[in-house]
Structure formats: C-alpha cells, structure tokens
Amino acid sequence: MAATRQITVKDGDVVLLVGTMKGAFLLRSNSARERWEVGGPHFPGHSVYAMAYDGRAGRRRLWAGTGSMHWGAVLRTSDDFGRTWTNPEAANVRFPTETGVSLKQIWKIRPGRSQEPETLYCGVEPAALFESRDGGETWNLNQGLHDHPHRALWQPGGGGLCLHTVMPDPANRERLTVAISTGGVYRSDDGGRSWQPRNQGVRAEFMPDKYPEFGQCVHKIVLHPSNPQRLFLQNHWGLYRSDNGGDSWQDIARGVPSDFGFCMVMHPHDPETVYIVPIESDEFRCTPEGKLRVYRTRDAGGSWEALTRGLPQKDALETVLRDAMSVDHLNPAGVYFGTRSGQVWGSPDGGASWNQILGGLPPVVSVEAAVIGEPKPAKARGKSNPARAKAKKARSKAKKARAKAKKARPKAKRRPAARKKGPAVRKAKPAGGRKRRAAPHKRRAAAKPRRKAAGARKKK
C-alpha cells in the first residue's frame, strides 16, 4: 500500500480537502496558490464523500466522513492536518434503534454559524440530518425532518437517497435549509423542529407531474452570507434562483450548453457570482462537446460565461460531482474542482485561468477549500504587480550600490575584512548563493539583507 505523505500547514495557507472513492488527499499551498504540496492517501480504500474544516473557536480541525463497503461509515477528525485521525470505537452517527434505519453513507459535514461554534450538521444517506451541539462529540438525529410525512415518499437518485446540502441562514438562527436527492429543498424556520418543502417553480423532468410539491432531484443549493434571501439551485435538469429564501424559484438557465449539472459554488465576496460545470444529458453525464468548461454568472444568473483558459477543450469527457467544487475566501478567490477521472483543477484568480493541480487520483467526490488562520496577502506575481516591481527596484538599487562600494574600496582594505569571515574557498559560496534563484517566497526576504549591507557600505 502507498505510504501516506504528510503536509506541513502554516497560518495563511490554503488547504484543499479532496475526498475520493478510495481515500482522501490534503493539498497545501501558500496564498499565491501556484504550487501545491500533496499529502495522502488518508483512509486508503475508504470512500470520502464529505470533508470539512472547522476553524471556529481556535480550532484547526479537519473532518472526514469515511465509508467502507464492508465496515460502515464514521465521522473522523484530525487536529494536526492529517498526521493523526480519530477512529471512534462506537459509530458516532447512528440512527436510533427505534427508527429501524441504518446509516449507509455520510454526505455532508457542515460547521454551523460562526456565532455557534459548537454546532455542526451532518447530512447522510438514507436522507436524514444529524446535529451536534458539543463541537462534534455527540450527534443526534433531527427528529422533525425524520418524522416528516414526505420522508416515506422520497425516492433514491443515482447516488442514493441522500441529504447532501445543509445551509444555516447566517442572519436567522431559526432558519435552516437542506437539499435531498430525491426529495427536494426543505426549510425550517423554527430551528429544525418543523420542515416545509420549498420547491415551487422547480421542474421535476422525470415525474409525470412536472411541478410537484416535493420529489425534485436538487443537486446543490448555495447562498451568499450577505444576501441570504437569495438562493441558487442546480437541479437534475434546471438552474434556478430564489429571491425569497426558497419560497419560489425562477429559471436562470440562459446561455449554458446544458442546464444539467451537479456542482454549484458561490463566489466568497460577490453575491451575484456563481460557478457551475454543465454536464451533457441525463444519461451521458459528461461535459458537452468534450470541453471542460466552468460557467460563471456575474449578474445573479442573468447571463453565463464559459471559463476555459487552461482547461482542456478537446476530448475532455469529464464529470464533476455535486460536492467536488469549492472556493477559498482569499481575494482574488480561488476556485477548485475535482473530476471523476481523478483530476483536481484550480484557479487562483476567480476562474479567469486554470491549472491542473493533480491528476491520477481515484474518482474525486468531494473538494473543500479552507484558508488556515488569518489570510496573508498574495505573493507578488506578474509584471504589473506593484509589490513585485517595488521588490525588483530595491534589488536593482542594492546591486548598483554594491558595485559602487566595491569600486570605491581599495583592495588592501577589502581583503583583511574578507579573511576575517573565513578561508577563501568558503568566501566564494555566498556569491554563488546569491546567483542561485531562490524560491519566490524567499526572494523578497533575501533582498532585505542585501539592501542593508549595501547601505552600510555606502556610509563608509
């Protein structure tokens, strides 16, 4: 079995939690998001459909919902970025005996609101919501949803009958919205005690009644914290927006090659910007025309644009599943997704350009991005970057100053000073060292002592 590689994470780093059908991988980068250190596989052989990062209340906690065809599903945590994981003796997410129901799979781990740091939610298959009020120590079935009269009528989709999305309203502590395949959107306005279907206007293409009260196969819903009344929905056929918290939905599928798709993510800073990856047809379920294209709206669904720079536009029959896309909250935002063919793609500039971060993984089923601790400003990159220009100017100035100082100094005075530092052989090393191209994040740091040294010589 492949040895598990570990990553070393620092504050300000971006970490990607990548869940696959056969284990999890942790990827780390600094805020430039150009190079990625890869850790894993964790839980080899176990599917990981749900991962999350909980940075509330001083935690640095990773969550993973691992599932084994043989040994069942369990929630596991790591407080050291994967060096050690819990593996609780007793399954921590379990249906009460009186329900007669057994857990099949964990689909979503969702830390609660920032002002409720001990609250977490867990969506599972068969469709049910579990809640923890003690930071994840204990979990309880949400009885209100479980007792809903519709539950017996929900039908499994291709991925099973799963509750895959949990959205606490950031402005209203009583409001919680969940999405079920195939049950539809349900919302509680009393803290989870009672639930109402919120599917008005969402088409169920596969049903005789195209606009039923419930039973839609919603694949993902998202909202922006600054405007929680507005929701976006990627359906099993159909793209929708709601401006009233899900009470009713309007079709926004204009200018996309297909309104079928699985994933959908919200821009972290712009409540009008949403990303999707359209998929062709209900049966084929691959990217249309063999082109891997992310589509973005920047006007809340009024129009959509294809983002293709860096993404393969030929023979790319890919599928991006519902939880396999994520954003970080840096500025510019990083956007990431993983494919069933085991590739991970990322954009450090909000989708303008894309790079393949990793390939050759087992099928990717979940991607979560997290910024650890306080975000640090992005490293200087690009010709027009003022920070880089400033650093370059400083290096040039230091170089000129050194040359000037060298010319001005008589040889006899320079030699004894050099000898004090060590033999001639070792003296050559720093010069060689200066020529060596340092890693980008070290270049600016390296420029500082040179500048000081040059300044000191100049004074002489």
Partner 1 sequence: MAVAFMIPGYLRQFTAGSNRVVSDARPATVGEALAALWALHPGVRDRVVTEQGEVRPHVNVFVGRESIRFTGGLGTPVADGDEIWIVPAVSGG
Q: Which residues bind partner 1 (CB under 8 A)?
A: 68-72, 74, 87, 89-91, 94-97, 100-103
CB of 90 to partner 1, least distance (A): 6
CB of 263 to partner 1, least distance (A): 23
CA distance 93 to 335: 31
**Closer Cβ to partner 1, 21 or 317, answer by number:** 21
**Closer Cβ to partner 1, 67 or 197, answer by number:** 67
**Closer Cβ to partner 1, 103 or 276, answer by number:** 103
CB of 89 to partner 1, least distance (A): 4
CB of 351 to partner 1, least distance (A): 34
**Closer Cβ to partner 1, 103 or 320, answer by number:** 103
CB of 97 to partner 1, least distance (A): 7
**Closer Cβ to partner 1, 72 or 257, answer by number:** 72
CB of 103 to partner 1, least distance (A): 7
Q: What is the DSSP letter of 283?
A: T
Residue type, 38: V
Q: Retrieve residue 123's tokens.
A: 């969506």
| Closest C-alpha among 415, 401, 394 to residue 457 | 401
CA distance 191 to 170: 13
Backbone angles phi, psi at 404, to 5 degrees: -65, -45
CB of 45 to partner 1, least distance (A): 8
How is 331-363 classified by DSSP, letter by letter? SSPPEEEE-TTS-EEEETTTTSS-EEEE-SPSP
| Closest C-alpha among 135, 39, 110, 131 to residue 80 | 39
Determine the length of the chain: 460
CA distance 374 to 156: 41
CA distance 356 to 296: 19
**Closer Cβ to partner 1, 89 or 374, answer by number:** 89
Strand order in the sheet with 14-20: 37-42, 23-29, 14-20, 364-371
Name the β-bridge partners of 358.
Answer: 344
**Closer Cβ to partner 1, 146 or 296, answer by number:** 146
Please answer whether residues 50 and 109 qualify as being in contact, where contact means their C-beta atoms are separated by less than 8 angstroms.
Answer: yes
